[in-house]
Chain A
Amino acid sequence: MFDLEQAIADWRSQMLAAGIKTPVPLEELEIHLREEIERLEKSGVDERTAFENAVRQTGQPQSLKNEFNKIETSFMKTILKCVTVLLIGIAAQLPGSLQLRDQLAMSDKWLGLWLLGLIFQMWSVESLRQIVQPKLTGRELKRVEWSFPKANLKTGAGVAVLLVGIALMVPAATQSVRDGLVTFDAWCRLVFGLCLLIAGTLVVCFPYQRRAV
């Protein structure tokens, strides 16, 4: 006597043995298999034949695994790329940070490298967030349309923050040009100003986004 549930359990074991271990693809494939069996049975095929045909039509476990593997490899490559850029960013900041710790000042060449490192870090952290967040939370960011007065208010606020950021960066930039060195307090203002500049630019240029359930 043919036992469909036992046959599906055996098919699952074969899939697991082939390496399809992640739950979502296997569950989707099983749902697909059951739908195909149901369709074939409705068309008059007996249960055993329906199962055998559905399994054949679904595909060989090893070829399916190879296809799923390609996605996992590409995901890991992206993560690796982001982490590499993050490490380069941290490394670029090291000489300037050490000089700042020892002398409470940073030469302009190290400052340039330090800022470049910061850009690298921000890029990699944002890229990682975009990749990892949807997988962890199952949510994505949603674009929100702003009404005319609100959009203007948003742009105005963004520009104000951006200008304050630039104003805070000016003393450090002047000091760097004049002395070829930036003192610790000027450097603090520079970093804070840079953060405001980025925040202001984001507010002005990007539509506000919120998490959608």
Chain B
Amino acid sequence: MIRKELVAASAEPLVLALLAKEESYGYAIIQEVKARSDGKLNWTDGMLYPVLHRMEHRGLIKSRWGESETGRKRKYYSLKKDGKTAMAKHHEHWTLIHGVLSGLRKEQYV
């Protein structure tokens, strides 16, 4: 089980990375994260929406109301320019942490 602090910290970069591919809506974002992590990264679904609203408030993403193929209302989110910059920063930071951890792990086995 991944610690909830880590799950919370990874929410923003994951959402940004998913929206960088294409615009999406809350439910689809959660399903894709679950699928890509083999269900190991399990968010409390409702908690994604405050994260999305906070990111929208900070100008990282924008939203629009649309409809699904079945006519159900959906709120679609897409990335803004500041969101792309934030995503690049997140990527840099996570890569750095990953690099440091991998380096230390390798040293343990030498």
Q: When chains A and B are docked, how far (Å) is the Cα of A97 from the Cα of B99?
A: 60
B50/A57 in contact, CB under 8 A: no
Q: Decide yes or no whether B94 CB sits under 8 A from chain A.
A: no
Of A67-75, A107-115, A144-152, A162-170, the stretch lying at the interface with chain B is A67-75
* A interface, over-half SS: helix
- The answer, yes or no, to whether A28 is at the interface (CB within 8 Å) is yes
Partner of B50, one of A31, A70, A75: A70
Greatest chain B CB density within 10 A among A25, A36, A67 is at A67
For B75, list chain A residues within 8 Å (CB): 24, 28, 31
Chain B, range 60-110, C-beta contacts under 8 Å to A: 62, 72-75, 81
Nearest B residue (CB) for A61: B46
19-33 of chain B: CB within 8 A of chain A: 26-27
Q: Are B50 and A28 touching (Cβ within 8 A)?
A: no
- A70-B54, A71-B57 known; A32 vs B73 contact (CB < 8 Å): no
Decide if B74 touches A31 in the complex (CB within 8 Å): yes
Q: Say whether A27 contacts B72, CB under 8 Å.
A: no
Which residue of chain B is the closest to A135 with respect to CB atoms?
B57
A58 at the interface (CB under 8 A from B): yes
A28-B26, A28-B75 are known contacts. Are A57 and B49 too (CB-CB below 8 A)? no
Contact between B72 and A34, CB atoms less than 8 A apart: yes
Q: Which B residues lie within 8 Å of A58 (CB)?
A: 44-46
* A140 in the interface (beta carbon within 8 A): yes
Asked if B49 and A31 make an inter-chain contact with CB atoms under 8 angstroms apart, the answer reads no
Given A29-B46, A31-B72, A58-B45, A68:B53 Cβ within 8 A: yes
Interface flags for A58-84 (1: CB within 8 Å of B; 0: not) read 110001100110110011000000000
Most buried by B among A32, A36, A63: A32
Contact flag A31-B45 (CB < 8 Å), given A64-B50, A71-B53, A75-B57: no
Would you give 10 A-B contacts (Cβ < 8 Å), ordered by A? Answer: A24-B75, A25-B49, A29-B49, A31-B72, A32-B45, A35-B27, A59-B44, A67-B47, A67-B51, A70-B50
Extra contacts, 19 of them, besides A31-B26, A35-B27, A63-B47 (Cβ < 8 A), are A27-B73, A28-B49, A29-B46, A31-B72, A31-B73, A31-B74, A32-B46, A32-B49, A36-B27, A36-B45, A58-B44, A58-B45, A63-B44, A64-B46, A67-B51, A68-B50, A71-B57, A74-B54, A143-B81
- Interface residues of chain B, those whose CB is within 8 Å of chain A, are 26-27, 44-47, 49-51, 53-54, 57, 62, 72-75, 81
The 4 closest A-B CB pairs, nearest first, are: A67-B50, A59-B46, A59-B44, A58-B46
